């Protein structure tokens, strides 16, 4: 009887259990079918990108100016919009960011086989808080990614450039890019992006609706990008930027023998690290209040003033419109038709030959030479000196110099060309525009007697320049004029016992602004130039007073440090 009783109880228990299970199955089928369906649908492939380390950028001596370092970041793989909203609400306080901004980033991962990486560097406190959140919040992971680092901060920022997340225009421009990838935005980072970026790897996984990994497949390993070496000397570059002292301007230095760019400085500057890691609205607004720090003034075009007289001097002597022996007279002005054009020196320079006219930068002599040459001849020689030609660097934002023609003026202003236009052109005013790099290249072409290897920013790359020939006699006359500018003329500030130099100053009016642009271009040593320096300041005053002292300090530093002269 006891056995039968036990059997009865066991059968009864199993019956109750069977009924309960059937009830649960019926309940799930009736009320939770959609949830199970969603789980089935959302069990899908996820491609987890492994960003490739970007190649390093070195200066001419091998000092790193840009490299990747490891950083913690967030990778989102939100299931749906509800999940994205929850993530944004929980994560934005930790990142101290607006929840809308975070939500906009998260929603890019919805329905996307590629998770979305938020390229913001996490500090230790943020990382720990987010690590704790991963235990109770689905839809994101913490990962390590290579993040760009610029150890010298603002040094060389306009030449090196910076990286950022690919925009819609970047994706259209570069077919090899995918959304959410980092790409060079300016500078060498942009023009050498394909070489620097390498090839990303990937992990391929099957995940469920909650982001849990169900299965992992063997993916591909990332291939690091190529390293790039540039010709800039970071020591000289840093010193140049200190000399510019955040005043709107530029300093360019070339080795005229090779065309290698030793310095390409523009002011004011910026810290590219802030562009990579993300900048607060407050910092961005502050940056915008400065004098356009993202403009590369070394490659921006301005009226060159009297530095242009180098090209006009060569033109006048080569075309035979004057001779070294001709004696001019400067009373301080020249009447052209109904207009009077004044020399920069009230009362004038008196009697002088072309050599002294170069040294003293006599406007009246160059007005006269310009009228004798005519605008076509001036333009021809200025073009041969590269003053309206591309530099070949292909850096974004570069402007070409401009040399006007009669046809251009008629089309642009519906007006004829006057002798007064030629007068202005002869001293680098009026419609003429050149960049600081153009002016440095002009001096380099001159000291090489018409030949030049071309401007070279990237080490090992070739550049080309057609060149032209002018006589040895013309070279000697103009060079002596530029030497006397240092010994007894407008560039006397560069007279030094450490080195000998030739130079030309420039003061360029830029109406309606009251203060002129300040220019100086110098080559040293006098007998065998190894460096050409051009200094420019925007709307500040005379060339000798502002650009001159900066050029002197730069050359003093250069010639006082033998290691800087090594090539």
| In the chain, domain spans | 47-229, 234-281+296-564
Which range among 57-61, 96-100, 501-505 shows the weakest confidence by mean pLDDT? 96-100
Per-residue pLDDT band at 61 (split at 50, 70, 90):
very high
Please check whether residue 525 is in contact with residue 538, taking contact to mean a CB–CB distance below 8 angstroms: no
Nearest residue to 437 via CA among 541, 302, 306, 317 = 302
Per-residue pLDDT band at 50 (split at 50, 70, 90):
confident
* pLDDT of 287 above 90: no
Q: Which two tokens stand for residue 380?
A: 């021809």
Report the chain's mean pLDDT, rounded to a whole number: 89
Considering just the CA atoms, what is the radius of gyration of the chain in Å? 34
Quick one: average pLDDT of 415-429?
97
Q: Which two tokens stand for residue 48?
A: 């987890």
Per-residue pLDDT band at 285 (split at 50, 70, 90):
confident
Task: Name, of 194-208, 234-248, 503-517, the range with top average pLDDT.
Answer: 234-248
- 76 strand-pairing partners: 116, 140
Quick one: average pLDDT of 61-86?
91
Q: What is the DSSP string of 444-458?
A: HHHHTTT-----B-B
**Scanning the structure block, which residue is given the tokens 């320049």?**
465
Task: Name, of 44-58, 505-519, 526-540, the range with top average pLDDT.
Answer: 526-540
Cα-based torsion angle of the residue sequence 443, 449, 452, 457 in order, rounded to the nearest 10 degrees = -30
Per-residue pLDDT band at 4 (split at 50, 70, 90):
low
pLDDT for 40 equals: 39
pTM, rounded to two decimals: 0.86
Coil, helix or strand at residue 416 = coil
* pLDDT of 62 above 80: yes
Q: How far apart are CA 51 and CA 148, in angstroms?
A: 12
Buried b / exposed e across 520-536, counting CB within 10 Å, b at 16+? Answer: bbbbbebeebbbbbbbb
* Other beta carbons within 10 Å of 171: 15
Domain covering 234-281+296-564 in this structure, CATH number: 3.40.710.10
Q: How far apart are CA 348 and CA 345, in angstroms?
A: 5
Per-residue pLDDT band at 31 (split at 50, 70, 90):
very low
Q: How far apart are CA 418 and CA 406, in angstroms?
A: 9
Per-residue pLDDT band at 275 (split at 50, 70, 90):
confident
Q: Which two tokens stand for residue 39?
A: 């789980």
* pLDDT of 504 above 70: yes
Please check whether residue 472 is in contact with residue 344, taking contact to mean a CB–CB distance below 8 angstroms: no
Q: How many helices (H) and strands (E) does the chain have?
A: 21, 19
pLDDT for 120 equals: 77
Q: How far apart are CA 229 and CA 61, in angstroms?
A: 9
Q: How far apart are CA 222 and CA 201, in angstroms?
A: 4
Quick one: average pLDDT of 237-242?
98
Per-residue pLDDT band at 38 (split at 50, 70, 90):
very low
The superfamily (CATH) of domain 47-229 is: Penicillin-binding protein 2a (Domain 2) (3.90.1310.10)
């Amino acid at each position: 009887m006891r056995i039968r009783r036990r059997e009865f109880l066991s059968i009864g228990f199993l019956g109750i259990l069977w009924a309960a299970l059937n009830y649960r199955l019926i309940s799930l089928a009736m009320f939770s079918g959609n949830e199970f369906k969603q789980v089935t649908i959302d069990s899908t492939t996820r491609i987890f990108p492994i960003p490739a380390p970007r190649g390093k950028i070195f200066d001419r001596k091998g000092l790193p100016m840009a490299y990747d370092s490891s950083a913690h970041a967030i990778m989102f793989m939100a299931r749906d919009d509800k999940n994205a909203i929850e993530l944004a609400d929980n994560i934005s306080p930790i990142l101290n960011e607006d929840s809308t901004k975070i939500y906009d980033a998260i929603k890019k991962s919805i329905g996307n086989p590629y998770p979305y990486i938020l390229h913001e560097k996490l500090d230790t406190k943020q990382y720990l808080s987010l690590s704790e959140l991963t235990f109770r919040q689905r839809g994101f992971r913490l990962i390590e990614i290579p993040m760009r680092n610029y150890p010298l901060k603002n040094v060389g920022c306009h030449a090196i450039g910076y990286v950022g997340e690919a925009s819609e225009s970047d994706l259209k421009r570069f077919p090899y890019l995918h959304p959410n990838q980092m790409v060079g935005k300016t500078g060498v980072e942009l023009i050498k992006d394909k070489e620097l970026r390498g090839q990303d790897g990937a992990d391929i996984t099957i995940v469920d609706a909650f982001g849990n990994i169900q299965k992992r497949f063997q993916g591909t390993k990332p291939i690091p990008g190529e390293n790039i070496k540039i010709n800039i000397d970071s020591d000289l570059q840093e010193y140049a930027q200190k000399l510019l002292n955040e005043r709107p301007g530029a300093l360019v230095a070339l080795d005229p023998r090779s065309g290698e760019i030793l310095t390409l400085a523009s002011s004011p500057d910026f810290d590219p690290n802030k562009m990579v890691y993300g900048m607060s609205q407050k910092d961005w607004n502050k940056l915008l209040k400065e004098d356009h720090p993202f403009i590369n003034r070394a490659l921006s075009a301005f009226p060159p003033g009297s530095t242009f007289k180098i090209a006009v001097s060569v033109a006048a002597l080569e075309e035979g419109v004057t001779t070294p022996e001709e004696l001019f007279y400067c009373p301080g002005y020249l009447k052209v038709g109904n207009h009077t054009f004044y020399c920069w020196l009230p009362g004038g320079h008196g009697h002088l030959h072309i050599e002294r006219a170069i040294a003293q930068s006599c406007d009246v002599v160059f007005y006269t030479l310009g009228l004798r040459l005519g605008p076509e001849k001036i333009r021809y020689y200025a073009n041969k000196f590269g003053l309206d030609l591309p530099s070949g660097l292909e850096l974004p934002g570069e402007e070409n110099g401009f040399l006007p023609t009669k046809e251009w003026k008629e089309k642009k202003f519906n007006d004829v060309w006057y002798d007064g236009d030629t007068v202005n052109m002869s001293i680098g005013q009026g419609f003429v525009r050149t960049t600081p790099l153009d002016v440095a290249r002009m001096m380099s072409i001159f000291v090489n007697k018409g030949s030049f290897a071309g401007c070279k920013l990237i080490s090992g790359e070739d550049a080309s320049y057609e060149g032209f020939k002018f006589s040895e006699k013309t070279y000697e006359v103009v060079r002596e004029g530029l030497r006397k500018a240092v010994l007894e003329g407008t560039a006397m500030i560069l007279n030094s016992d450490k080195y000998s130099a030739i130079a030309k100053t420039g003061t360029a009016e830029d109406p309606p602004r009251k203060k002129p642009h300040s220019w100086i271009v110098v080559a040293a040593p006098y007998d065998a130039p190894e460096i050409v320096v051009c200094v420019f300041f925007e709307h500040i005053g005379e060339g000798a007073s502002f650009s001159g002292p900066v050029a002197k300090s730069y050359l003093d530093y250069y010639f006082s440090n033998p290691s800087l002269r090594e090539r």
